[in-house]
Chain A
Amino acid sequence: MIIMILYYIMAAFFGVVLFWNFVKSKDVQKAILYLVILMPFVLRVFRLK
Chain B
Amino acid sequence: MKANKEWIVKSIALAVWIGILISSGIAFAQHRQYKETVVLGEAVTQVKTLGDYFEPIKGTTNDCNIYILDSGVPGGTLLIMGAVHAEEPATNLAAQLIVENAGMATGRVIVAIHQNRSASTVTRPGDAYPQFFTIDTDWGEKKFRMGDRWANPLDSWPDPETYVHYPSGQMLAYMDTRNMNRTWPGRANGSLAEKTSYAFMRLIEQENVSLTIDLHEAELEYPIIGTIVAHQGALNVAAMASMMLTAQEFPIGMEISPLALHGLSHREIGDYSNSPCILLESPEPFLDRVRGVTDEALLLTGQDEFVMKAGEQGLLYWPIDENGWSIDIRVARHVRTIEKLTELWTRFHADSAMVFAGLPSYDEMVEQGVGHFFADPDSVPADRLAFE
Interface residues of A (CB under 8 A from B): 3-4, 7, 22, 26, 28, 31-32, 35, 38-39, 42-44, 46-49
Contact = CB atoms under 8 A, between A and B. Distances in A.
A48 B17 CA distance: 16
A28 B25 contact: no
Contacts of A26: 6
A16 to B, nearest CB: 15
A31 to B, nearest CB: 5
B10 A31 contact: yes
Contacts of B10: 22, 28, 31-32
B28 A48 contact: yes
Contacts, number: 44
A47 B125 CA distance: 15
A39 B21 contact: yes
Contact of A7 (B17, B24, B158): B158
12 contacts: A3-B158, A7-B157, A28-B6, A28-B9, A35-B17, A43-B24, A48-B24, A48-B29, A48-B32, A49-B28, A49-B125, A49-B154
A35 B25 contact: no
Interface in B4-33: 6, 9-10, 13-14, 17, 20-21, 24-25, 28-29, 32
Q: Is the interface of B mostly helix, strand, loop or mixed?
A: helix
Interface of B: 6, 9-10, 13-14, 17, 20-21, 24-25, 28-29, 32, 122, 125, 153-154, 157-158
B177 to A, nearest CB: 12
B14 A35 contact: yes
A27 to B, nearest CB: 9
A23 to B, nearest CB: 8
A44 B125 CA distance: 13
B157 A43 contact: no
B6 A48 contact: no
B197 to A, nearest CB: 18
B158 A43 contact: no
Q: Closest 8 CB pairs between A and B? A: A48-B25, A48-B28, A35-B17, A49-B28, A28-B9, A32-B13, A31-B10, A7-B158
A46 B25 contact: yes
A36 to B, nearest CB: 8
